[in-house]
Structure 1
């Protein structure tokens, strides 16, 4: 396809720059900082912070504190309301929403400078993706759109959650020519309508060669919805008409596909070979595949066996840390300014100081104007390509402290490794609750599926493993915490995702996290087990 050749050509210069600087990490990073402090110093925020355009790396590190979103919330909200100055001397194109597992929606300013930084990672990623998977050139691509909750749509720009908007204008136009699903499906009245339209276009594209989503559970949800709506989708594709959904589709044209309609009509919603027949040319599926996302990535890959699977790098709405390149997840060293903090002693390292085996948290200073911004993510240095570190994502560093037990996500992850989860079950999350069922705070392991094995026994094993942590053991000995409960039922993944959405998280961006804190008691939708499924502690 001509669109693919043009997109590859557009990505080539950025790829060459990335490859050429692999042995010049310190020089590139110091130059990135010099450019950044010049732009920050010229802004209202920079003047308030006392940032000078002549600051060296060492001065920048010593003069400014490590920050999080709360440090920037007030000036961002003032700027959004037109009442305050920008964080950096670069025009803001839009404010991108994001949310954490326990936080309300955060708004990240996407300036022209920041978008250029993201594009500096996307170019070598795209170039290497085409190199490794030549079949991608033969068909259409789907880059996910992580739609807003329905109630927020009226206040949002139409492009706010289109992944293509992370690219430069030129690449965006070229990439748009390769897309199976038009961006305008995001304008539908509700998330369900956007999802329905997306599926209609995907089914209509027999040549689909790339399915790129962020969360593997979002990808699984697409496939599940295809089964649920198969009859309605078949009618729409056969007629080329949205039918009862027409008024909700904001004028979006309905695709027509006799082949897709016939396949859907003949499908019982269960036959696992259906997706191979539907998309025989699917070459690559891309999604998160590390930490708590790993079992769901395996399930997604198993349901699309005709395609290779590529794990995403570490991207956040606030910026990019790594992306897949030459079989590594390399630091996007030409994008932002990076530092890394040791979670044990808080020592901060420059990227050229990292050594294989270190476990550190990324700090980013970006063209959005966020300086020394800490992501609560733990990464391990796996090695280097040239001088650039390859990093693997180990999980979120969120912690819970209901009664002084001080559990971290990493501690819970290690404890879960001791739990022999039987076939047919998959861990979803361990949830800390103010009332886990008997009036006391405690922890609940959520499992999806209907495999053999006793949830009570699995809960007991996890309880024993968690007691390796001194403060947890003390809280249990003092009866401050209830014993671990284990809830197993089919559809638990979807129930968990619904709870995340109710807590303000963004559809498609929800990560499966090992440990979360939900205030209050266990939601009623999770309490009642499906018929025949035990749900006891």
Structure 2
């Protein structure tokens, strides 16, 4: 009976998503017409808002006039307007009432709040429909069982502003109800007061779902965190699943005696065999797999070799840029209005003027009211799907420049990629450390995950220093004595260190996205020693 209801719910979801896929297929042949219609619609909405009045927007203005009136923006440009929108309810950035504010931020950023009203949710739905409709068509295993959609834990202080954090909130009410019937994680889990309770609740729901068929997370790092936490906390999870313990600070307690028995018999070693036994129906894992996320995606693939791993494309709280479709990553042409900054010429062009081989940075104008919002991501125009450009994700566009060394994510990714075949360690990030004191010169540190070995770290640092000094400005800073030599630090606590960096910047926890290059202000070594002590204790 349960499987029959599951099949009906999945069949209904496919039926509801299919019209959106057909519209997307038509838009692939009509990129300019589709984008111009979205531009006109957004201009009409924005011209009636407080922000639109301040910028002098008019419904009938040309794209060129719009570009002259509105500069390329970032969150700081809109921060005050977002706060006023939240306090007043509407008509600052958008004429709609925004029922929720989606938190955003990488390991280098504090929390940013993106207004979500009905129209921006429909824009996201326009990208979700073709993605999921195609997946349902291609993967029969997805048509039964439970689906896991990850969402980040948010401190209780933020709960009133956030609203419902489920990853599929961009869907219509009918689709959300269908997904609620097929999803592993219930809505109340976002309101757990502590991060460790949030993780335990996720683990219990996942382990209880023996019919799990789909796992969707933003980052493969979070997927690995969950799997390793399941190993470490298997006794706690088993106690909840067999009913001898209850989850603290939650409104539900999953029960599954069979899963509890599996966990009690498990020695904790993460292996493809055990994960296949726990989730025999798992068909697809969806997560980021481009640029810095690639080695972590490979680690997930190694643990789940019989499961299809699908890259997620470029999605974020600010909007969606690309989606996985027909083996490529086309522009989500029906979602927002897009412009692109050519990274060589700095010219700004609309989607219909892109050419294959260009390296670009996307600029979004969305129904959230954030106009000409430049994302810090680099994309390569890899080709075209009919008229629609397709992209390869190259990484983040930010840089670190403490004393004139001018390092960027591309340099960092090249350095880290040289370590990907080393079995004893996995490179996580390159950190620019600025202690802020004249007595301590800034330096760069490669943070790796693995077993601590100081002698090996020193040898590796010397080798990587030679490689990094091929970058002219870094080499000059070293020759002038402005930078101390590169260091390397390997610990099993590497991901915990990155999470700590995010917490220090008030970033949303549980949404860790690998960044190849990070800037740290302050003395780093006491922090590393503290985590090393935890490593030794473990």
Give the TM bin, normalised by the shorter chain. Answer: over 0.9
Partner Cα separation in structure 2 for residue 93 and residue 11 of structure 1: 24
Instruction: Tell me what 2:432 maps to.
Output: 432
Check the 8 A contact 1:209/1:282 in 2, yes or no. Answer: yes
State whether structure 2 residue 451 is matched by structure 1 residue 445. no
For 1:497-508, what aligned pairs fall within 5 Å after superposition? 497-508=499-510
Output one character per residue of 1:313-366: Cα deviation in whole Å (capped at 9) or x when no partner: 101110000010011111000000001001233111111111111110000000
Q: Post-superposition shift, 1:153?
A: 4.8
Instruction: Tell me what 1:404 maps to.
Output: 404
Check the 8 A contact 2:101/2:161 in 1, yes or no. Answer: no
The secondary structure found in structure 2 opposite 1:114 is helix
**After the TM superposition, which of the residue ranges 402-411 and 93-102 deviates more from structure 2?**
93-102
Instruction: Tell me what 1:352 maps to.
Output: 352
Q: Post-superposition shift, 1:87?
A: 0.8
Partner Cα separation in structure 2 for residue 367 and residue 530 of structure 1: 46
Instruction: Tell me what 2:147 maps to.
Output: 141
Instruction: Tell me what 1:48 maps to.
Output: 54
The secondary structure found in structure 1 opposite 2:242 is helix
Gaps of 5+ in 1: none
Partner Cα separation in structure 2 for residue 145 and residue 523 of structure 1: 32
Q: Post-superposition shift, 1:85?
A: 4.2
Instruction: Tell me what 1:184 maps to.
Output: 188
Q: Post-superposition shift, 1:293?
A: 0.8
**After the TM superposition, which of the residue ranges 43-52 and 456-465 deviates more from structure 2?**
456-465
Q: Post-superposition shift, 1:421?
A: 5.4
For 1:26-425, what aligned pairs fall within 5 Å after superposition? 26-82=32-88, 85-148=91-154, 150-159=155-164, 161-239=165-243, 242-243=245-246, 245-246=247-248, 248-249=249-250, 252-272=251-271, 273-418=273-418, 422-425=422-425
Partner Cα separation in structure 2 for residue 207 and residue 436 of structure 1: 53
Distance 1:107 1:527, change over 3 A: same
Distance 1:202 1:382, change over 3 A: same
Output one character per residue of 1:405-446: Cα deviation in whole Å (capped at 9) or x when no partner: 111111222333445752121110000111399811111000
Check the 8 A contact 2:73/2:373 in 1, yes or no. Answer: yes
State whether structure 2 residue 456 is matched by structure 1 residue 454. yes
**After the TM superposition, which of the residue ranges 416-425 and 495-504 deviates more from structure 2?**
416-425
Partner Cα separation in structure 1 for residue 89 and residue 184 of structure 2: 41
Instruction: Tell me what 2:4 maps to.
Output: none
Check the 8 A contact 1:421/1:458 in 2, yes or no. Answer: no
Output one character per residue of 1:214-242: Cα deviation in whole Å (capped at 9) or x when no partner: 11111111111111221121111112x64
Distance 1:465 1:92, change over 3 A: same
Partner Cα separation in structure 1 for residue 144 and residue 257 of structure 2: 21
Total equivalences in the alignment: 526
Check the 8 A contact 1:97/1:108 in 2, yes or no. Answer: yes
Output one character per residue of 1:19-78: Cα deviation in whole Å (capped at 9) or x when no partner: 112111011101110111000011111111111001222322233211111111111112
Check the 8 A contact 1:360/1:378 in 2, yes or no. Answer: yes
Output one character per residue of 1:436-462: Cα deviation in whole Å (capped at 9) or x when no partner: 998111110001113998222322232
Check the 8 A contact 2:270/2:303 in 1, yes or no. Answer: no
Partner Cα separation in structure 2 for residue 328 and residue 154 of structure 1: 36
Partner Cα separation in structure 2 for residue 137 and residue 154 of structure 1: 33
Distance 1:306 1:17, change over 3 A: same
The secondary structure found in structure 2 opposite 1:177 is helix
**RMSD value, Cα:** 2.2
Distance 1:420 1:302, change over 3 A: closer
Instruction: Tell me what 1:24 maps to.
Output: 30
Partner Cα separation in structure 1 for residue 217 and residue 33 of structure 2: 34
Instruction: Tell me what 1:4 maps to.
Output: 10
Partner Cα separation in structure 2 for residue 79 and residue 364 of structure 1: 19
Output one character per residue of 1:271-309: Cα deviation in whole Å (capped at 9) or x when no partner: 512111100010001111111111111111211223110
Q: Post-superposition shift, 1:465?
A: 2.3
Distance 1:261 1:529, change over 3 A: closer
Output one character per residue of 1:112-163: Cα deviation in whole Å (capped at 9) or x when no partner: 1111110100111110111221211121100112111x3535544451x211
Partner Cα separation in structure 1 for residue 340 and residue 294 of structure 2: 24
Partner Cα separation in structure 1 for residue 49 and residue 354 of structure 2: 32
Distance 1:86 1:153, change over 3 A: closer
The secondary structure found in structure 2 opposite 1:400 is coil
Check the 8 A contact 1:95/1:109 in 2, yes or no. Answer: yes
- TM-score by length of structure 2 reads 0.93
Check the 8 A contact 2:362/2:377 in 1, yes or no. Answer: yes
